[in-house]
Amino acid sequence: MARYNAREEEKRWQQEWERQKLFATPAHTSAPKCYVLEMFPYPSGRIHMGHTRNYTMGDVIARFRRAQGYAVLHPMGWDAFGLPAENAARDKGVSPRDWTYENIAHMRDQLKMMGLSIDWSREFATCDPAYYHQQQKLFLDFHAAGFVHRSEADVNWDPVDMTVLANEQVIDGRGWRSGAVVERKKLSQWFFRITQFADELLAGLDTLDRWPEKVRTMQRNWIGRSEGLGFQFTLSNGEKLDVFTTRPDTLFGASFVALSPDHPLAGALAAQDAGLEAFIAECRRTGTAEADIEKAEKLGYDTGLTAAHPFDGNWKLPVMVANFVLMGYGTGAIFGCPAHDQRDLDFARKYGLTVTPVVVPEDADPRTFAIGTEAYTGPGRLANSRFLDGLTVDAAKAEVASRLEKAGIGRRTVHYRLRDWLVSRQRPWGCPIPMIHCPACGVVPVPKDQLPVLLPETINFKVRGNPLDADTAWKTTTCPKCGGPATRDTDTLDTFADSSWYFARFTNPEAAEPVDKAAADYWLPVDQYIGGIEHAILHLLYARYFTRAMAKLGLVKVAEPFAGLFTQGMVCHETYKDADGNWVSPDEVEKRDGKAFLLDGGAEVSIGPSEKMSKSKKNVIAPEAIIAEYGADTIRWFMLSDTPPERDIEWTDAGAEGCHRFVQRIWRLCSEAEGLPAPGTAPVADDAASMALRQAAHRAIAAVTDDLENLRFNRAVAQLYTLANAIGAAGKAGGAARREALETLVLLSAPMMPHLAESCWRALGHDRLVAGTPWPRHDPALTRTDQVVLAVQVNGKRRAEFGVQKDADAKIVEKLALEQEGVVRALDGKTPKKIIVVPNRIVNIVA
């Protein structure tokens, strides 16, 4: 029989699937629905191994659910706005639009070669005017509902990408894309009021039981809720100063009050105090990067003012400006309690301030308990605190809060780390913000009937700054309110907005409104979302916010967009370096005996650790090349084999060859099946070989089904190897049972290797497609066994094993166990003290 020709066969089946429209999304029926979605790609030009892994997993689930009878929605689109298109446009003189759509065309072909069961009729790109038109409507809806505000704020300015960034997009003080050190600027910008939903977004995490705990924790930390007390100090100049604390219980341990250098009061005082002005300038010079903060010493400047203690007007605390107090959290002012806060302690030691312990651990003596170089932050009882003495920390917190609330100078409050989402971007390749600035009327929304605000046909990248701002013709318009001359908002929306609702649009991409309510209500939430962990906060938080905001507007019913989330691991490869320390691509290397040599010249290269495939380390393998050599099923099988899906997988040539051998092996088993009874012949287990085959097949059905339900692809793969081994071991024996086992192997492997499955199905004599064939069911009678092998331990060490009837009487099992040769030897004449029989598993004899 001929070897399996993947290239021809795969193309043939892809055409056949398309001809029969097998993956078209079914109409809404009573069938259970399953919305399977992988994070849509940025159209960079070609797919990489990470895409291959991501889309293979999604496709397995989609095909598996379809076979099980679910109505499946499995769409694909393009996250198509963004900077790479602009860079390409500037570098190559092409238009970002042409560049993007050409990339999409190429990548679509590549994805189709993988044989994904996608409903391509729903495809769209976020840069399609039809899509961003709807997004502009959403923006106006959000604006009308008060979810959007325009504010002047200190913003993160990326000097390389020439745009502002949201807080989430600044990592270690650098832009998430460019890596440039972010500068601070004051600009008037648009914000989504995500903080309005902070509590909901936090509480919602508890309902996401099919999300990785890790992602939920990261989001919880990012939202950063803290409960505390806001209250006022009266200063010696008569002014009031608001502070926030989570430790009101430590108020009698206060020894200073500190302001952020960016606090308005600090600024006002600096106007009359040159020393303070210089100090503030010094603080601003210190970077915000982690490394800087780590090293930064606690520095302070005494303003000369004092603050009266809220419970004792005669107790005066010095008011300092301190470099470690952040304007961006709480009120930008704190009271310092050195005994119970490490930062305050460092500061107090440096400036010789009092350190009074007010919380004493239960097992310590309040008269002798002292603070050294470490603040005490644990539980305990209050001391040195007048009316709080003897209370627990919690009781003291409540007592202080109540008293200050009663006195009208305090209030229990909640603060979040989460800031509003700044969405204005000074970039031309994005969704234009549909707003108009009128000198007479101020900021005016573009009326919906005048949408879309289209991007200009051509974008001139030769200008400095934002090309949309420089495009006078595009920018100039009339005010919808007064009809006078006005200008468009020349900013575009952060591209994370584009990906924050695309999953809802997929439910009906033709809808005249952003979302077709009936379609969205039917399909949402996404049942299984799959993507990289790198979106744990950014994309996944924004999408959750959008969904909640849309739900408030009545556009969708669900509060959470993704019921199930799976974060897959990265694809890695060994790295190679030549004698000069230059990275060398695997294409240029030949491996022999665990060593690596240059193909050109034969010089040995050093083998480095396996790392995420990246251009900079040259350890990239192109999926195209693998598909061309072995076919899509081989690469799909590799992506699912061995390594659990959430872990990083290492690509190896040997592994790929092994996968391809298995493809050929299945083909051989199915295509050399002459002598098999006709399709549809009922299997009978009337001989040992048949029984063994039937049991192997039905156990595989049970196991693979369970593994796929739980996304344990690597285990499902192992089960299929086991079944193939059993079929191989049976040789030509088995008749109808052999046919059943072969068909089971084909049906179970179909979600993973869909093309091969179709070829084998045809070879086994079927006319219809596997892709339209229901998932097999196991017969429980065949997955049971009546003989079991029991191990016998003596004092916990395994000494023998023997076969026995399943559920055999414990007395009989005990007797048999004691007769085993190994057991007799191990007992060496000793009398057993105790015999534990675990039915159908093990016997442990204690002697």
Partner RNA sequence: GCCCCAGUGGCGGAAUGGUAGACGCAGUAGACUCAAAAUCUACCGCCUUCACGGGCGUGCUGGUUCAAGUCCGGCCUGGGGCACCA
Interface with RNA in residues 370-399 (CB under 7 A)? none
Please give the Cα distance from 667 to 1 (Å, whole number): 9
Q: What is the closest distance, in whole angstroms, from the C-beta atom of residue 129 to RNA in the complex? A: 35
Interface with RNA in residues 720-749 (CB under 7 A)? 721-722, 725, 728-729
Residue placing its CB nearer to RNA in the complex, 220 or 437:
220
The amino acid occupying position 306 is T
* Cβ contact 578:607 at 8 Å: no
Residue placing its CB nearer to RNA in the complex, 241 or 325:
325
Please give the Cα distance from 249 to 392 (Å, whole number): 9
Determine phi and psi for 556, rounding to 5 degrees.
-135, 165
Interface with RNA in residues 528-547 (CB under 7 A)? 533, 537
Cβ neighbours around 51 below 10 Å, total: 20
Q: Which of residues 34, 431, 649, 700 is near RNA by CB under 7 A?
A: 649
Q: What is the closest distance, in whole angstroms, from the C-beta atom of residue 4 to RNA in the complex? A: 11
| Only segment of 498-506, 619-627, 784-792, 811-819 that touches RNA (CB under 7 A) | 784-792
Interface with RNA in residues 406-445 (CB under 7 A)? 415, 417
Q: What is the closest distance, in whole angstroms, from the C-beta atom of residue 696 to RNA in the complex? A: 11
Q: Which of residues 334, 436, 627, 747 is near RNA by CB under 7 A?
A: 334
* Cβ contact 717:636 at 8 Å: no
Residue placing its CB nearer to RNA in the complex, 328 or 485:
328
Q: What is the closest distance, in whole angstroms, from the C-beta atom of residue 3 to RNA in the complex? A: 7
Asked if 644 touches RNA (CB under 7 A), the answer is yes
Q: Which of residues 5, 20, 207, 221 is near RNA by CB under 7 A?
A: 221
User: Structure tokens of 184?
Assistant: 């601070």
Q: What is the closest distance, in whole angstroms, from the C-beta atom of residue 545 to RNA in the complex? A: 17
Asked if 657 touches RNA (CB under 7 A), the answer is yes
Please give the Cα distance from 489 to 16 (Å, whole number): 49
- Per-residue string for binding with RNA, 812-831, x by CB under 7 A? ----------x--xx-----
Asked if 650 touches RNA (CB under 7 A), the answer is yes
Q: What is the closest distance, in whole angstroms, from the C-beta atom of residue 720 to RNA in the complex? A: 8
User: Structure tokens of 675?
Assistant: 């002598």
Q: Which of residues 246, 460, 606, 785 is near RNA by CB under 7 A?
A: 246
Asked if 323 touches RNA (CB under 7 A), the answer is yes
Query: Cis bond leading into 609, ω under 30°?
Result: no
Number of residues that bind RNA (CB under 7 A): 85
* Cβ contact 589:597 at 8 Å: yes
- The closest alpha carbon to 247, from 354, 180, 131, 334, belongs to 334
Q: Which of residues 183, 199, 213, 312 is near RNA by CB under 7 A?
A: 213
Query: Cis bond leading into 379, ω under 30°?
Result: no
| Only segment of 63-71, 239-247, 270-278, 698-706 that touches RNA (CB under 7 A) | 239-247
Residue placing its CB nearer to RNA in the complex, 552 or 778:
778
| Only segment of 46-54, 270-278, 505-513, 797-805 that touches RNA (CB under 7 A) | 797-805
Q: Which of residues 51, 298, 425, 618 is near RNA by CB under 7 A?
A: 298
Spell out the residues 6+ positions from residue 198 whose beta carbon is closer than 8 angstroms to its own: 223, 225, 416, 418
| Only segment of 119-127, 360-368, 388-396, 654-662 that touches RNA (CB under 7 A) | 654-662
Residue placing its CB nearer to RNA in the complex, 405 or 657:
657
Listed in sequence order, the DSSP H helices in 69-128 are: 83-92, 96-113
Q: What is the closest distance, in whole angstroms, from the C-beta atom of residue 408 to RNA in the complex? A: 21
| Only segment of 87-95, 126-134, 244-252, 498-506 that touches RNA (CB under 7 A) | 244-252
- Helix, strand and coil content of the chain, in percent to the nearest 5, comes to 40, 20, 40
Interface with RNA in residues 277-296 (CB under 7 A)? 286, 288, 290, 293-294, 296
Strand partners, 158: 163
Please give the Cα distance from 732 to 369 (Å, whole number): 84
Q: Which of residues 411, 661, 777, 815 is near RNA by CB under 7 A?
A: 661
| Only segment of 191-199, 219-227, 494-502, 557-565 that touches RNA (CB under 7 A) | 219-227
Interface with RNA in residues 85-104 (CB under 7 A)? none
Q: Which of residues 121, 207, 217, 582 is near RNA by CB under 7 A?
A: 217
User: Structure tokens of 305?
Assistant: 């003012």
- End-to-end Cα separation, the chain, in angstroms: 61
Asked if 654 touches RNA (CB under 7 A), the answer is yes
3-class secondary structure, 149: strand
Q: What is the closest distance, in whole angstroms, from the C-beta atom of residue 118 to RNA in the complex? A: 28
Asked if 664 touches RNA (CB under 7 A), the answer is yes
Please give the Cα distance from 490 to 163 (Å, whole number): 12
Determine phi and psi for 836, rounding to 5 degrees.
-105, 125
Q: What is the closest distance, in whole angstroms, from the C-beta atom of residue 701 to RNA in the complex? A: 16
Q: What is the closest distance, in whole angstroms, from the C-beta atom of residue 667 to RNA in the complex? A: 11
User: Structure tokens of 97?
Assistant: 């639009």
Q: What is the closest distance, in whole angstroms, from the C-beta atom of residue 349 to RNA in the complex? A: 14
Q: What is the closest distance, in whole angstroms, from the C-beta atom of residue 572 to RNA in the complex? A: 10
Q: Which of residues 95, 196, 384, 652 is near RNA by CB under 7 A?
A: 652
| Only segment of 118-126, 190-198, 274-282, 323-331 that touches RNA (CB under 7 A) | 323-331
| Backbone angle region of 96, left / alpha / beta, with phi > 0 → left and psi within -120 to 50 → alpha | alpha
Residue 284, CA distances (Å) to 182, 236, 304, 332 in order = 13, 27, 21, 15
Interface with RNA in residues 457-496 (CB under 7 A)? none
Spell out the residues 6+ positions from residue 449 whose beta carbon is closer than 8 angstroms to its own: none
In DSSP notation, 219-275 reads: HHHHH--EEEEEEEEEETTS-EEEEEES-GGGGGG--EEEE-TTSHHHHHHHTT-HH
- The closest alpha carbon to 545, from 40, 199, 42, belongs to 199
Q: Which of residues 112, 343, 552, 577 is near RNA by CB under 7 A?
A: 343
Please give the Cα distance from 216 to 206 (Å, whole number): 8
3-class secondary structure, 700: helix
Strand partners, 149: 191
| Only segment of 72-80, 242-250, 462-470, 767-775 that touches RNA (CB under 7 A) | 242-250
Please give the Cα distance from 61 to 57 (Å, whole number): 7
Q: What is the closest distance, in whole angstroms, from the C-beta atom of residue 106 to RNA in the complex? A: 31
Q: What is the closest distance, in whole angstroms, from the C-beta atom of residue 373 to RNA in the complex? A: 13
Q: Specify burial of residue 362 (Cβ count, 10 A radius: 0-12, 13-18, 19+).
A: exposed
HSE on the CB side for 614, CA within 13 Å?
7
Q: Which of residues 797, 828, 829, 831 is near RNA by CB under 7 A?
A: 797
Interface with RNA in residues 163-202 (CB under 7 A)? 171
Asked if 582 touches RNA (CB under 7 A), the answer is no
Interface with RNA in residues 665-724 (CB under 7 A)? 665, 712, 714-715, 717-718, 721-722
* Cβ contact 276:301 at 8 Å: yes
Residue placing its CB nearer to RNA in the complex, 549 or 572:
572
Q: Specify burial of residue 180 (Cβ count, 10 A radius: 0-12, 13-18, 19+).
A: middle
Asked if 796 touches RNA (CB under 7 A), the answer is yes
| Only segment of 152-160, 454-462, 517-525, 837-845 that touches RNA (CB under 7 A) | 837-845
Residue 277, CA distances (Å) to 236, 266, 272, 280, 374 in order = 20, 9, 9, 5, 32
Residue placing its CB nearer to RNA in the complex, 384 or 795:
795
Residue placing its CB nearer to RNA in the complex, 769 or 800:
800
